[in-house]
Amino acid sequence: MTTKPEMTAAGIAGAVAAGKMSALEATEAALARIKQYDGVLNSFTDVTADRARAKARAMDADIAAGKAVGPLAGVPFAVKNLFDVAGLSTRAGSKINRDLAPSRRDATLIERLEAAGAVLVGALNMGEYAYDFTGENVHDGPSRNPHDPTRMTGGSSGGSGSAVGGALVPIALGSDTNGSIRVPSSFCGIFGLKPTYGRLSRARSFPFVASLDHLGPFARDVTDLALAYDAMQGPDADDGACTTRGLEPTLPLLANPISDLRIAIAGGYFQKNVFPEAVEAVSRVAKALGTTEVVDVPEAARARAAAYVITTTEGASLHLDRLRKRPDDFDPAVRDRLIAGAMVPAPLVDRAQKFRRWYRAQFAEIFRSVDVLIAPATPCTAPKLGQVNFNLDGVELPVRANIGIHTQPISFIGLPVVAVPVPLEPLPIGVQIICAPWREDIALRVAYALEKMGVVAAPAPRGI
Amino acid sequence: MAEPLDDYIDAVSKALALPVEEAWRPAVRANLEVSLRLGRLVDEFALPDETEPAPIFTV
């Protein structure tokens, strides 16, 4: 028996737990799909086949011995290559990090997914050091969009978007500093969860911007997204920013009605700088949710500017010594941005962090009268690989810097977001479901309701 | 002809012992111009003196 490409994590785990499929069969099916399709997608940089088979065999032995299995039994998954994987150097999309010693221990989130029964099958392509919105990589080549391989996956978790969008694995993990989960979700037509800042442990992952970095899952439906998220929650002393809140499972709440929720469309900034497809996607979601209310988000453009300043300066600080010692081994575009970031005067960074406090208070006020905000995830569907400029609201702008204009003002204050895919033709595009801090349960509930209404769905990959 | 930011780039490059080769300079300068423009947008927003920075989002 082999898994169908569209088989979900919940479906695989149910079949494995019921003895209808072995964990090894599920693993072999994923490895076969990777072998068949990844030559086109270029989503994997490492396939950990031996490790995966050993894990699957051990699980099958446990099942045969009558031992209980976890909620992700036999589910193949893969991780952006900034997660530590025991035995691999954590390259974080770079050439330089390949010289690091192999990791001795997996990242916390890998350990938690495997404790729930999931099987790691590999590490995924990404933009260099996560400073990227395109999914392109000068060292490993670009990850490619599963709906049209001539187009971007979005970054920086491009391989994660490509692997799940291409149905090579049902679940992948990525990171999101300014939009790097939500952008690939949008371009690849899948679901992505960027949790509240501090919700999921970042221990043993390669950082980018400490005060903005989040980790989270991608999946092809909302149930799988919640399954993965629930399995990864919990405090972790190894990440100083990780919350000490207890587990708050979302899966049991998914099907709860949403009629009690106050839902609004993010106005002002979030309705500007969009192509028609982004307007159409938000309109479809708003209509399905029965809302026409528009809430203005004050100073979102300044929030995006502040996120930009914090990102470039904290990123520069992280890489300062590598910029001194190995400048020629960086992607030149990343290097030149980081060098410039090192030159930004400190008072501007301090003011950006202070503005963050002010902006956070504005959102706290909004969430007194609204439970959910909806906004575009990206201004457009996936651009062509290598595309340099696009015309936004009559202005010619660089693609690379502007793909994340609608995601940056949200992650800036750590709000939880589910990116949901609206299956437009010819390409899908995502919408952000934004909630108050720690209310991932509401964002997932709304996503689930939209999925049941048929408004959002991960389209079958058409480009492979 | 030297651009307005070139002296600043040279000075910070020296102060931080951060190499900037001539071939990289136009891109570094262009990126710095963007960062300073966005930084000015933040700078011109008046905040109370008592405002605390919020590097970590807490409840």
Domain ranges of chain A: 5-305+344-453
CA-wise closest residue to A87 among A125, A135, A120, A116 = A120
Among A312, A343, A355, A388, the strongest candidate for a mutation testing the B interface, having the largest count of B CBs within 10 A, is A343
Residue A1 pLDDT exceeds 80: no
pLDDT, tens only, B4-55: 899 999 999 999 999 999 999 999 999 999 999 999 999 999 999 988 887 5
Residues of A in contact with B10 (CB under 8 A): none
The rounded distance, in Å, linking the Cα atoms of A174 and A215 is 6
How many folded domains does chain B comprise?
1
The rounded distance, in Å, linking the Cα atoms of A433 and A169 is 24
The residues of A annotated with a catalytic role in the active site are 80, 156, 180
Paired residues of A47 in beta bridges? A122
Chain B nearest CA to A154, separation (Å): 21
Cβ pair B42:A414 closer than 8 A: no
Cβ pair A343:B54 closer than 8 A: no
Q: Is residue B17 a part of any domain in this protein? A: yes
Q: Is B15 on the interface with A (CB under 8 A)?
A: no
Q: What confidence tier does A401 reach under pLDDT thresholds 50, 70, 90?
A: confident
Structure-token pair, residue A15: 């079949």
Whole-number pLDDT of residue A3: 45
CA-wise closest residue to A98 among A52, A144, A135, A45 = A45
Q: How many C-beta atoms lie closer than 10 Å to residue A366's C-beta?
A: 18
Q: Is residue B55 a part of any domain in this protein? A: no
Q: What confidence tier does B56 reach under pLDDT thresholds 50, 70, 90?
A: low
Four-way CATH pick for A5-305+344-453: 3.40.140.10, 3.40.50.1010, 3.90.1300.10, 3.40.91.10: 3.90.1300.10
pLDDT, tens only, A50-73: 999 999 999 999 999 999 999 999
A393: Cα separation from own chain's centroid = 27
Q: What confidence tier does B1 reach under pLDDT thresholds 50, 70, 90?
A: low
Could you say which of B8, B18, B59 has the minimum Cβ distance to residue A324?
B18
pLDDT, tens only, A82-127: 999 999 999 999 999 999 999 999 999 999 999 999 999 999 999 9
Could you say which of A340, A357, A438 has the minimum Cβ distance to residue B28?
A340
Q: Is residue B19 a part of any domain in this protein? A: yes
pLDDT, tens only, A287-318: 999 999 999 999 999 999 999 999 999 999 99
Q: Is B39 on the interface with A (CB under 8 A)?
A: yes
Mean pLDDT of A323-332: 98
Structural domain for B14, as ranges: 1-32
A209: Cα separation from own chain's centroid = 16
The rounded distance, in Å, linking the Cα atoms of A319 and A172 is 27
Residue the block writes with tokens 């989960």: A181
Whole-number pLDDT of residue B58: 57
Mean pLDDT of A354-378: 96
Chain A nearest CA to B54, separation (Å): 5
Paired residues of A420 in beta bridges? A431
Using a cut of 0.90, tell me whether the model's pTM lies above it.
Answer: yes
User: ipTM score of the complex?
Assistant: 0.94
CA-wise closest residue to A264 among A290, A242, A246, A284 = A290
CB A179 within 8 A of CB A434: no
Whole-number pLDDT of residue A397: 86
Cβ pair A345:B39 closer than 8 A: yes
The rounded distance, in Å, linking the Cα atoms of A177 and A105 is 24
